A and B are shown apart, each in its own frame.
Chain A
Amino acid sequence: MKKPVACIVIFMMMIMLLSGCWGKTELNEIGIVTVTGVDLEPDGNIRITVMSMQPEASGVSAPVRSSTWIGTAVGKNLMDASKNLRSIAMKHLNWIHNTIIIIGQDVAERKMEEVIDFFSRNREVRFSSYILVAQGTALDILQTPADIQNDLPKEILGIIGNAPKWSKSYVANAKEFMVSHAEGSGNYITGKIAAVFEKRSTFSAPRQEYEKLVLRGTELPILHLEGCAVFKNGIMVGWLDPDESRGYLWITGKIKTGTIITQMEEGNLSFENNFIGTSVEVSTNGEEISFLVKIDTRGTLVEQTTTHDLKQEDTMEQIEEEFSDEIKGEMEAAVKKIQKEYKADVFNFGSLLHKKNPDLWKKLGKDWDEKVFPNVKIQYKVNVTIERTGKLLKSIFR
C-alpha cells in the first residue's frame, strides 16, 4: 500500500516541476495577431506588418474596448521578418486567431509562392485565413483607421462577409491556394482590397465631428473590396474588374446572390438570383477541345421600370431571354480577359479535361495554360427562370 502512495506523491511533485514549460502561456501574455500584411521593400527584403489585439482590463468605469497594436518589421524572408517583429512587440505574438492575410501588390507579383509556403507551413496559421491582395501596399491597408467597428479586422471581415451578397469580388482562403498548388496549376483568384481616399466617406462619428469633417472636406481613406486578382502559376498576372469578377463567379458557380440589369425599351429591369446550378461539359474532337458552360438560375425580378405586363407569359419569357444574354455577356467578358489576356486557367477546366480524356491531357497538359487553353472554344447555355416578381405584379409605369 505504501508504494503506490509514494509513487503518486512523487508523480505529483514531478508534475509540479513540469509547470511553466511545454508551451504554457497565460492569457495576459499573448498578443493575438488578427491581420498580417506582407510587402516587398524596394531593396528586395520582405516587410511584415501585423495587427494584434491586446485587450485591456475592463474596469468598472473604464470603457470596454480592446486596444490594437500595429507592428511592422523587415527581414530577408518572411520568417526573418516575423522574428524581427519580436524586437518591437511587447507581448508573445500568436497567429492562432489570424483570419486575414493581406498581400501587397509587389509581393503578389513576384514572391507569392514564398508567402503561400510560409503561411501554409506555419502551425499557428489556420487554413481558413482569407488572403487578399492589396492595391498598393498592405501597410497602407493596415494603417487605415477603423471606421464603424472598433477594430479593423472586424471591419475587413464584415466586408468579406458581404462579398457574396453582391458577388463582384471573391475572397479565397489559404486552403484554396494550397489545393490549387497541390493540383499543380497554381492558378487562382482572390479579392482585391484597396484603400481609396474619398471626400464622401462612410464613418461613424458624433455629430460635431461629423460636421467638422464635412465642412472641411477632409479626405479619408476607406477600404474597398472590389474585383479580383488573377494568379497564374502562383504569380499575380493582373486584375479583374467587378463585372468580370462576377462573370468568373457565374462560370464557377460560386455566385450566391448576384444582380443582373438589362435595358429594355425605355426602362430597365433587374434580376436577383437566389439559386444557381452550374455544370461544365467537355467535348473533344481530335485535338479540338470545347467546353459548354450550362447555367440554370432562378430568382426574383427585383426592379423594373418598363411598361411590360408581367402577367403575360411570353413577356416573361422575353425578359428571361434578355437576362440570359446579359449573363452570357458577363461571362464572355471575363473569359476574354482570363483566356486571351492572362492565359490562366483559373476555372480549372484543365482538370475536367484530365478526367474526361486522360490521354489527351497527357499530350496537351504541359502546355495547357500557354498554348491550349487560350484557344479552346467556350460556349454558354444559360437558363434564367423568374420565379417571383416581388410584391408588385403590374408595372407602375404607363
Chain B
Amino acid sequence: MKKYKVIKRPTPINDTIKNKKTENCSRSHKKLEHIEKQSEESYANAEISGCIDSDMQYIREIFKNCSDLIIRRMELGEYKTPCFAAYLGTLIKREFVNENFLKPLMTEIRLTGVSGHSDKGINASDINASSLYSFQVNEFHLFKDVIGKLLVGYCILFIDGSKTALAADTKGETGRKVSEPRIEMGVRGPQEAFVEDLGTNVSLLRQRIKTPDLKLEMFEPGRLSSTQAAISYVSGLADDKTVNEVKTRINRIDIDIILDSSYIEKFIRDSAYSPFPQMVTTERPDKCAAALAEGRIVVLIEGSPNALVIPVTFSDFLVAAEDYYHHFYFSTLIRILRYLAFIIALLGPAFYLAITTFHQEMIPLPLLITITRSRADIPFPAIVEALMMEFTFELLREAGIRLPQPVGPAVSIVGGLVIGQGVVQAGIVSQTMVIVVALTGIASFAMPTFNLAVKIRFLRFPFMLLASTLGMYGIIMGILVMLIHMAGLRSFGVPYLSPFAPGSLKDLKDSIAIAPLWTMSKRPSFIQKNNPSRMKKNIRQEPESNDGG
C-alpha cells in the first residue's frame, strides 16, 4: 500500500512518461516501476519477425495465463500462405470479426485478385488495401504497438513472411447508451448526457460543432490504465497558450491508474489547496459545446461521463445550461435567485448566529420575541445547536446519496419526521434553527453545479465558528479573507472573479443578469482574445411597422 502512496503524489515538472526510466527517484519508486513495467520492458523493442510460428509463440508468451486470448490460424489465397489472427475474445464483437475480418480473408480474397506469390507469400499492404472490410486498419512493425491495439479490442493479423501486422478495429460496444442527464437535469433544451465511452462523448460534441476546427488531441496518462484523455478545442478560438499549458500539465501526470476525470482535475488545477472549484464538471454536451464556442477547452476522459471545462471563472459555477434557453427576463430572475441562494447557503446559519447572539438590535421586536420564545428552553448555546443541526443534515445527505433506492423513503421518514419534528418537540433544538438549517440546505441544492455546492457545505462551518465568536465582525472578516483569496485565484490565466474583478462592463451582460441573446454579440473578453465577435450585429427580426396597430 505504501508504495502506491508514493506514486500518487504530483510528479515533478519535467517528468514525462517518456523519460520516466531515467528519472532519479527513491528506491521504493524504482522497485514499483519495475513491477509495473515487467512485461512491457520485455517487448519494448521487439520487432515482428515474419515467421508466424515464432510470432505466435511470442504473443502466447506475453499473454501467458490470459485465457481470453484467441488465436485463429488460417491460410490465405491461392498459395495458402499461412497466417493467424489474434484477438481478445472479451473485447471484440463476434459479428464484426466473423463478417468483416475472417470472412473476407478466407472466402472473398479470391475475388479481389490478391493472390500473392508462391515464394514471397502475400504482401500485408495488399490485403489492407483490397480485402479487409474493417473501417480502420493499421499496419505495425513493433510488438509494442500491436499489443497496445490488442488490448483495446483490435483484431491483429500476422502473415507468414511479412514483417507487418495488420490491426483492424473490431471493438465491441460495452457500456450504457446515451441517456438523459442524471445530475444536471433541465426542463428545456437537449436531454442528452455524456456516457462512459469516450467515442460516444466525442461524437456528441461533433454533432454540435461541425467543423474540422474542432480539434481532438489524445493523451494516455495512467501507467496501468492507459486512459484515453481527449483535449478538445476549436482552433482559432481557443488560446494557443492555454491549450499548450493544458497539454503540458496532462503530460506531467504519471500515475498508475485514472478512473475518472476528477483525477485529471486534481493534477492540473491551478491552486491545489483552494477550496474553490477551478473547473466546471459537466455531463451536458450542450454546455460543453457552448464552452468550446466561447474558446474554452473541454477535457474528456475515457470511462468518465464528466467532462472538464477550462478555463472557468466563479460566475460559471452559477450558470445552468437552461439559462440560455429561457426568456432573458426569467433567466435573470433565476440567476439573481441563485446568487442569493449562494449567499444563503454560505452565510445563512452564520448570519443567524451572529444576529441572535451579538446583534439582537438588528431584529425587529416582534420577530425577536418569536425567536426568543422558540429558544427559551433550549439547553445549548446557539452555536452548539447550529452545529448539531448541520451535522444531522450532513449525515442525512450523506446517507441519502449512497442509499439503495428501495431504502430511500426510510431515510426521509426518519430524517424529516423523526429528527426534524422530534428534536424540536424534545426541546433540544429550536424551531427557528431548524428553519435556518433547512433553508440553507435547500439553498445549497439550488446550486447548478454540484462541484460548488460541495465546497459551500465545507466553507459554511468556518463562517459559523467566526460568527459565534466574533459576530458580524467575524463574518465580515471571513468574507474579506474569502474575497481576497478568490481575487488571487487564476484558472489557466483567467482571473477567478472575472467579470466582476477585474471589472469588465460588457461581460456583465452574462453574469448576475443575462442580456437578451441578440445583444451578446461578443464572446466573453476574459476568455476570448482571438476572435471576439460571435454574431452579426442587429440581427434581431422585427415585424414591419404598420400604422394600423
Contacts and interface: CB of A to CB of B under 8 A. Distances in A.
B376 A16 contact: no
Interface stretch (B173-181, B364-372, B488-496): B364-372
B369 A55 contact: yes
A27 B358 contact: no
B273 A1 contact: yes
A59 B236 CA distance: 69
A28 B375 contact: yes
A123 to B, nearest CB: 10
B377 interface: yes
B49 interface: no
A24 B357 contact: yes
B425 A60 contact: yes
A283 interface: no
A78 interface: no
A22 interface: yes
Nearest to A60: B425
Nearest to B431: A58
B83 interface: no
Nearest to B357: A24
A97 B367 CA distance: 12
A386 interface: no
A23 B427 CA distance: 26
A66 B465 CA distance: 31
B332 interface: no
Interface residues of B, number: 31
A54 to B, nearest CB: 8
Given A24-B468, A32-B365, 5 more contacts: A15-B466, A57-B374, A66-B369, A96-B361, A97-B368
A23 B360 contact: no
Interface in A78-120: 94, 96-97, 99
B315 interface: no
Given A25-B357, A25-B360, A53 B465 contact: no
A214 interface: no
* Interface residue SS majority, chain A: loop
B361 A16 contact: no
15 contacts: A15-B469, A19-B383, A19-B469, A22-B470, A26-B357, A26-B375, A27-B357, A27-B368, A27-B372, A27-B375, A30-B360, A57-B377, A58-B373, A97-B365, A124-B361
Contacts of A60: 425
Nearest to B474: A15
A1 B9 CA distance: 14
Nearest to A66: B369
A194 B374 CA distance: 35
A55 B376 contact: yes
A15 B465 contact: yes
Interface string A182-198: 00000000000000000
B376 A56 contact: yes
Interface string B377-409: 110011100000000000000000000000000
A154 to B, nearest CB: 9
A56 B373 contact: yes
Interface in A16-56: 16, 18-19, 22-28, 30, 32, 34, 53, 55-56
B427 A26 contact: no
8 interchain residue pairs of minimum CB distance: A96-B361, A57-B376, A55-B373, A57-B377, A55-B372, A97-B365, A27-B375, A19-B469
A27 B377 contact: no
B470 A28 contact: no
B471 interface: yes
A56 B370 CA distance: 10
B120 to A, nearest CB: 65
Contact of B427 (A12, A34, A57): A57
Contacts of A126: 361
A64 interface: yes
Contacts of A24: 357-358, 468-469, 471
Contact of B470 (A4, A18, A66, A124): A18
A64 B466 CA distance: 34
A97 B273 contact: no
B373 A64 contact: yes
B421 to A, nearest CB: 11
Contacts of A99: 365
